Chain A
Amino acid sequence: MSSAHGEFKRAVRPITRDFAHRRWMQNALRGYEQVRAGTQARFGDWEAARRAAAGIKWQAIEQLDTLLEQFASNLEARGTKVCWAKSDAEARAYILDVVRAHNARTIVKSKCMTSEEIHLNELLEGEGFDVVESDLGEFIVQLRKEPPYHFVFPAMHLKRDEISRVFQDKLGAEPTDDPEELTMIARRVLRQKYIEADIGFTGANFGVAETGMVSITENEGNVRLTTALPKVHIALMGIEKVLPRMEDLALFLPMLATGGTGQALTCYNSLIGGPQQPGEPDGPDEFHVVLLDNRRTQLLADSVQRDALRCMRCGACLNLCPVFKNIGGHSYGTTYQGPIGSVITPHLRGLREYKHLSYASSLCGACTETCPVKIDLHHHLLRSRRDAVCAHPVWGQRSLFRLFAFMMRRPALYRAAGKIGRPLLWLSRPVQGTWLDPLRAWRRTRTLPMPAKQTFKDYWKTRRR
C-alpha cells in the first residue's frame, strides 16, 4: 500500500461515519442538481451541444502544438511575456523572478487550481511575500490554513458560524451569522488588497489561440479587480486549456456555467489580450502568461487517456459522484478531487503512488454521463486498474484471480468450492465483523447472505429428473 493510499484510507474513515457532514454536503449538491436541471432543460439539445463541445476539445488536443504556438505568438505581439514551463519548478522559478523583479510585497490571487498544483502559495509565503486569496471561498480556507474542498466551491464544507469564527480570530471582525455581513467583511478587507497589491495572479479557464487571449470565468468580480488594478498580472495556464477560436467560447462558456454551478452564464466572463494598450485608461503595465506542462505531455502520449486533457474543470463530475458526496474534497489528498482527479492524478503524479484512486470507485458512470465534454471518466478508471495490474502487480491479488480463472473454467471445481465454502461461511458467523473474521471487510458493517440450502444448479438437476 502506498503512503498516499494509507493516508486516503485514514482520511476516509472518520468522514464516512460523519453523517451530519455528509448530509450537509449532499444537500448542497442536491441544490446544484435541481438548478442545473432547469438550466440544462433550456438548451435546444444538450446532448448535441455536448458532442460539439467534445469535438472542439478533441481538435484542440490533437492540434495542441500548432495552437499553442499561435496562442503564444499572438500574445507576444501585443506585449505579453510568455513563459513555457516544462515543470512545476520552472513555473515557480519564473513567477518568483517576476515577483522579485518588481520588489513586490503583496500578491493578490484569484482562484487557480493550477497554482495549487505547483504549490505556489507555499513558495511565495515562504519567501516572505504577502499572498492573499481573493475568491471568498479560497480566502476563507486560506485563513483556516486548509486546502480547498472542491475546485469550484472551496468552502462548501463550512457553516456560517465556522466562517464567522475564523474572521473573528484572524481579522478581528465582529461575530455575525449573516452571510451578507460575512461577505461584506471579506469585501472590505480585500478591497484594500486589490489597491495596494503589486502583483495580480490568476489562472485561466481557456486560452484563445486565434486572438491571443486568456479567458477567465468568475462570479465575484475578484478576477476583474485582480486584473484591473495591480501593475503586473501573471496568469498561469495548463497547456491543455487552449482552444482554436474566439467563437468557441460561445459554446463553452454556457456549458462551463451549466456544468459547474447550474447557471446559464457565470457573472463575469472576461478575455485578457495583453497589458494596458496605448489609449486605454488602465490595466497592468506587464502581463505574463505561464504555460504549464508538468507531465501533461506524458498524459497526451497515452492515445486513449489523453481524453482526460479535454477537461475544462467545471466540477460537474464531483457534484454528481456518490464517492465524492460521501468522502468530501479533503479526503483525496490531491490537488484535483473527484472523478477527474482520480483519472489524471496517477498520470501527473505517479501510478504506483496513486493507483488506489482508480479503485476507490464503484464505476457507476454518473461522472461520464454528466461531463459536458464527454470524457469517458469511469472507463478510464477501469483502464488505470489494468495499467496498475500490469505495471505494479500485487502478488496476492494476481494469485487470487488466477485461481478464479482456473476455477471458472472447471464447473466441477466451482461446484466443489461452493460445497466447501458454504459450511465455512456458517462456521465463521459467530465472529462475523470482528478481527477474526476473514470476511471482515464486508461483515463489519453489512450482513452477508447465508448460502441457500439448494443452489440453482441443484434445483435444475432435480428439475431434470
Chain B
Amino acid sequence: MRVSLFIPCYVDQFFPQVGISMVRLLERLGHEVDYPERQTCCGQPAFNAGFCKEALSAADAFLDCFGDAQVVVVPSGSCAAMVKVHYRSLFADTEKLDAAAALGDRTWELSEFLVKKLDVTDVGARFPGKVTFHDGCHGLRELGIKESPRALLREVRGLELVEMKEAESCCGFGGVFSVKFPDISTAMAEVKCASIDETDAEYVVSNDPSCLMHIQGYLARRGRTVKCMHLSEVLVQT
C-alpha cells in the first residue's frame, strides 16, 4: 500500500524522529511511504481558537495536498480527529464537503491504521522497559482510540505495560489553552505526572505528540527522569 504521511507542523519542527520512526516502521512492514512535501498544517490551532475562516483556509490547502493520497496516516490523535471529524463541519457550506469527508474516511491515526486497517498487532518490535500509556483526549473521545495502542504495545518484546491511575485524564495541553490559562494547564500536568510517577514507569508513551510535548515540558522543568516517547518511536525499535 502507498501510505501518505501527514507530519503535523510541531512534529516537523520539534520531534522529527516521530516521523522518521513512522517511515522506518511502515517500510519494515513492506509499504511504500509517501510524504507530500507541500503539507503544512491541518488547521486545528485556528479551529480550536474559534477562527473558522482561517482554519478553512489552511484545511483547504491540506485537502489539495492530500487529495490524491490513497491513505493518510498521522501520528497524532488530535490532528486525525480534526480531519476525520471536524472537517465535515468546517467544509459544510462549501462545494468541497464530499472531498473533505472522503479524505477523512481515508485518514488514520497510526495505531488505528496498524491494528484496524493493516490488521497487525505484532510489528516485530523489541523494547525492554517499563512503559505506561497516556490516552490523548481527542483520539480517545473523538475517535474512540483506546485498545489499539495497547494491543501494539503488548506485542513488543521485553516491554512491560503498566496502566496509570486515570490514564484518560487530560494532560492539560489543549492547544491554545496551555498558554491562555497556563496556571490551570500546569496544574493538570502536575496531576498527570503524579499518576505517571506512581507507576514507576521508565517511559510514558502516547499517540499524541502534543500531549507528550506538554508532559515532557513539565517533567524536564522538574528534572524528572521519566522519558517521553511517541508510540512510533517504541514500535520502530528492534
Contacts and interface: CB of A to CB of B under 8 A. Distances in A.
Interface of A: 9, 12-13, 16-17, 19, 22, 26, 322-323, 325-327, 359-366, 368-369, 382, 385-389, 397-398, 401-402, 404-405, 407-409, 411, 414, 418, 422, 441-442, 444-452, 454-460, 463
Nearest to B19: A456
Given A22-B191, A408-B58, 16 more contacts: A322-B188, A365-B142, A366-B137, A386-B50, A397-B51, A401-B49, A401-B51, A402-B54, A405-B58, A408-B40, A409-B61, A445-B218, A446-B217, A446-B220, A447-B221, A449-B15
Contact of B49 (A9, A385, A387): A385
Nearest to A327: B184
A444 B178 CA distance: 12
Interface string B130-168: 000000011011100000000000000000000000001
A337 to B, nearest CB: 14
B117 interface: no
Interface stretch (B5-13, B93-101, B199-207): B5-13
Given A409-B61, A418-B13, A444 B182 contact: yes
Nearest to B39: A411
Contacts of B51: 389, 397-398, 401
Interface stretch (B66-74, B106-114, B121-129, B169-177): B169-177
A408 B57 contact: yes
B35 interface: yes
Contacts of A364: 137, 141, 170, 174
Nearest to B192: A322
B216 interface: yes
A260 to B, nearest CB: 21
B57 A447 contact: no
Contacts of B218: 445-446
Contacts, number: 186
A362 B170 contact: yes
22 contacts: A17-B187, A19-B190, A359-B176, A359-B177, A363-B137, A364-B174, A365-B137, A366-B170, A385-B48, A386-B52, A389-B50, A389-B52, A404-B58, A407-B40, A411-B39, A418-B13, A442-B179, A445-B221, A446-B189, A449-B217, A451-B14, A456-B11
A28 to B, nearest CB: 14
Contact of A405 (B12, B16, B54, B182): B54
Contacts of A454: 16
B21 to A, nearest CB: 11
Q: Does more than half of chain B's interface fall in helix, strand or loop, or is it mixed?
A: helix
Contacts of B14: 449-452
Contact of B177 (A326, A360, A405, A407): A360
Nearest to A384: B50
Given A366-B168, A441-B179, A16 B12 contact: no
Contacts of A322: 169-170, 172, 188, 191
Contacts of B61: 408-409
Given A327-B184, A456-B20, A414 B9 contact: yes
A238 B38 CA distance: 54
A26 B172 CA distance: 15
A17 B180 CA distance: 17
Nearest to B218: A446
Contacts of A414: 9, 40-41
A401 B9 CA distance: 15
A323 B188 contact: yes
A409 B41 CA distance: 9
A361 B49 CA distance: 11
Interface in B14-41: 14-17, 19-20, 23, 35, 37-41
A452 B13 contact: yes
A254 to B, nearest CB: 25
B173 A362 contact: yes
B159 to A, nearest CB: 24
B141 A369 contact: yes
A385 B137 contact: no
A397 B19 CA distance: 30
Contacts of B174: 361-364
A454 B12 CA distance: 9
A364 B139 CA distance: 10
